[in-house]
Amino acid sequence: MAIKEQQGTADRAGRARMAPVQPVVSDRIDGLLEGLSIRKRVAASQLPVTATVALVVIATAIFSPETFDDNLFVAALLFHLAIAAACFAIPWGRLPAGAFAVIPLLDCLAIGFTREAGGPPFNVLSIMLVFPVIWLSVHDRPYMPVLAMAGAVLSTVVPSVVQGSPVLGGSMIRTLILPLVLSVIAVTAHVMATTIRRQRIKLMENELHLGRTLGESVRRQALLDAVLRAVGLGVWVVDAKGNTVLANRAMHADPALAGVISPAGGQAPLMSADRSTPVPANLLPAARAAAGEAFIDELYWAGPADRQRAYSVSSHGFPPAGGQEGGAVITFVDVTSLIGALAAKDNFVATVSHELRTPLTSILGYLELVLDEPGHEDIRDELLVVRRNAEHLLGLVNDLIAVASERVDLALEQADLARLVAREVDAASPTAAGNGLQLVLDVEQPLHARMDPARIGQVIRNLLSNAIKYSPNGGLITARAFRTREGLACSITDTGLGMTGEEQEQAFSKFFRSARSRETAIPGAGLGLPVSKTIVEGHGGSISLESEPGRGTRATFILPES
């Protein structure tokens, strides 16, 4: 048993400095002697030898009482008693850390004298040397095993010298082999004790690291809980199967969202953007997230029909980690007020536009009457200018009505898209040439489909107008009409200013105009693309933009062929 007075104190002090939190496992793993004073630990380490000597005395008294007649044997027993008393009497805490080594060395001498004084029957007492040898060897100081070997040798040599008998005159096993065996035991015990000590230190370090990690985990969990409670948006964490892992207070407090987490009857009360079409089970946010789909700002409606709320829903997945499966974080942002404000704006625009269209229609009607009546030839050119501007203003009002209602009235008929593109290119050629632009037509003939020719012509005009306006430094504009697997396509490509990615995302928003167009005073109201989008989607088609700043833009719309 190793006595580690100063090391034990240093270990505890080191742990106090290193550990900001309590270790997960008790750090008192020094053994049964950890809580004792230094003096008691020395006495406890001496206890195996003392107890064995006591048993030897009892056995001698029973089976060989005549041995007590030998003064040397009695002196050896008294020597053992004195050593045991010294363990209690000496103030070991005031002495150097290794001072206790004198006790196991004296034990070796006392055992040797007891064995020699008892004669051949007591040769078995050599086994007792294991106690002081191990006591010395398990200490962390490297010289302790050497002292243990020396003690084993002294236990054989000194008693023989004191008695005046030759050192090598006795048993060869006792004289030579016994110290060698005890030396091997000393080295083995020291190696094992050192290994155990290192493992203990590593274990303590791991406990401290685990304690710090646990403390940090608890702190982060508390921070996460505080954030989830504080944010006003709903946060819903689902696993890879779409099952709920975590939902914050906002999700549970909102009745509509609470129904999304725990749907009644197996169907979550979610409606599509039109507020009336139930969302299919495979398109619910949790199902889409479980399928690995990431989406941003998807509009859903939830709640009873008379109290529906609008939510902008986004999902962001996270991969498996730490042996835990992955999942996704779904957020619900209540945008009911925003949707209401946008609807109010559209209603206002629609109302004002309708109020403007009535007098404009009347103005144009009276202009036609004036132009048809004789006697106004001297002001006919001025009247034509008035009519042209009034028609332009009426077209702008009609565009406002179209974007406000997000729908247009279509008069569908069979028409040739190639012919429409060619006609609009011819009409725009003088304007393009005046701006130093080369306008190229590339169409396949014919491209028949069911469409509203006037409205599709309006889309082509809007796209050509944008290409001309946003190519102020000349260049090339290519108008193409061709057939694709999706249907009939028309693309207008220019080499003009181009747009950034952010501008492309907003290009189809109502009244949006890029910063460059405002800086260069390019005319426009920001309605051409939104109106074109409304018209194309009214035909069941799609429209898209591809652009790069300084490299130009390609606008493409596709119409179903049937």
Q: Could you tell me the strand order of the sheet in which 437-443 lies? A: 437-443, 475-483, 488-494, 552-559, 542-548
- The model's pTM: 0.46
Rounded Cα–Cα distance for residues 111 and 126 (Å): 7
What six digits make up the tokens of 360?
């404009």
Secondary structure of residue 271 in the 3-state scheme: strand
Rounded Cα–Cα distance for residues 19 and 212 (Å): 8
Rounded Cα–Cα distance for residues 58 and 52 (Å): 10
- 290 contact partners, CB below 8 Å, separation of at least 6: 238, 239, 240, 241, 242, 327, 328
327-334 and 234-239 strand pairing: antiparallel
Residue 57: what pLDDT?
Answer: 92
Rounded Cα–Cα distance for residues 514 and 526 (Å): 9
Where b means 16+ CB within 10 Å and e means fewer, 362-397 reads ebbeebeeeeeeeeeeeeeeeeeebbeebeeebebb
Residue 523: what pLDDT?
Answer: 52
Q: Along the 562 residues of the chain, how does pLDDT read in single tens digits?
A: 333 333 443 344 344 333 333 333 333 334 455 567 788 888 888 899 999 999 999 999 998 899 888 888 899 999 999 999 999 899 888 888 888 889 999 999 999 889 888 888 888 888 899 999 888 888 878 888 888 888 888 888 887 777 666 555 555 555 678 888 888 888 888 888 888 888 988 999 999 999 898 888 888 877 877 776 767 788 888 888 888 888 888 888 787 787 787 765 544 568 888 787 888 888 888 888 888 888 888 888 888 777 788 888 888 888 877 667 788 888 888 888 887 776 776 666 666 666 677 787 888 787 788 777 787 777 877 878 887 778 777 777 776 666 666 667 788 999 999 999 999 999 889 888 888 888 889 888 888 889 999 889 989 988 998 888 888 777 899 999 999 988 999 999 998 888 887 777 777 776 655 655 554 445 555 677 888 888 898 888 999 988 888 888 999 999 998 6
What six digits make up the tokens of 23?
């270790």
Question: Cα-atom radius of gyration of the chain, to the nearest Å?
Answer: 49
- 36 contact partners, CB below 8 Å, separation of at least 6: 44
Number of Cβ within 10 Å of residue 142's Cβ equals 9
Rounded Cα–Cα distance for residues 153 and 176 (Å): 9
Residue 301: strand pairing partners: 271, 310
Spacing of C-alpha 237 from chain mean position: 13
Reported in sequence order, the residue ranges of 248-365 that DSSP labels E, i.e. its strands, are 270-271, 295-302, 309-318, 327-334
Rounded Cα–Cα distance for residues 21 and 215 (Å): 7
**Domains of the chain as residue ranges with CATH:** 5-209 (no CATH), 232-334 (3.30.450.20), 340-405 (1.10.287), 413-559 (3.30.565.10)
Q: Please name the helix (run of DSSP H) or strand (run of DSSP E) that holds residue 441, with its range, or none.
A: strand 437-443
Residue 271: strand pairing partners: 278, 301
What six digits make up the tokens of 56?
């030897």
User: For residue 154, which of 83, 84, 87, 106 has the smallest C-alpha distance?
Assistant: 106
User: For residue 286, which of 234, 318, 327, 255 has the smallest C-alpha distance?
Assistant: 327
- Cβ atoms of 228 and 235 closer than 8 Å: yes
- Cβ atoms of 531 and 468 closer than 8 Å: no
- Cβ atoms of 444 and 484 closer than 8 Å: no
Number of Cβ within 10 Å of residue 203's Cβ equals 14
What six digits make up the tokens of 379?
């002001």
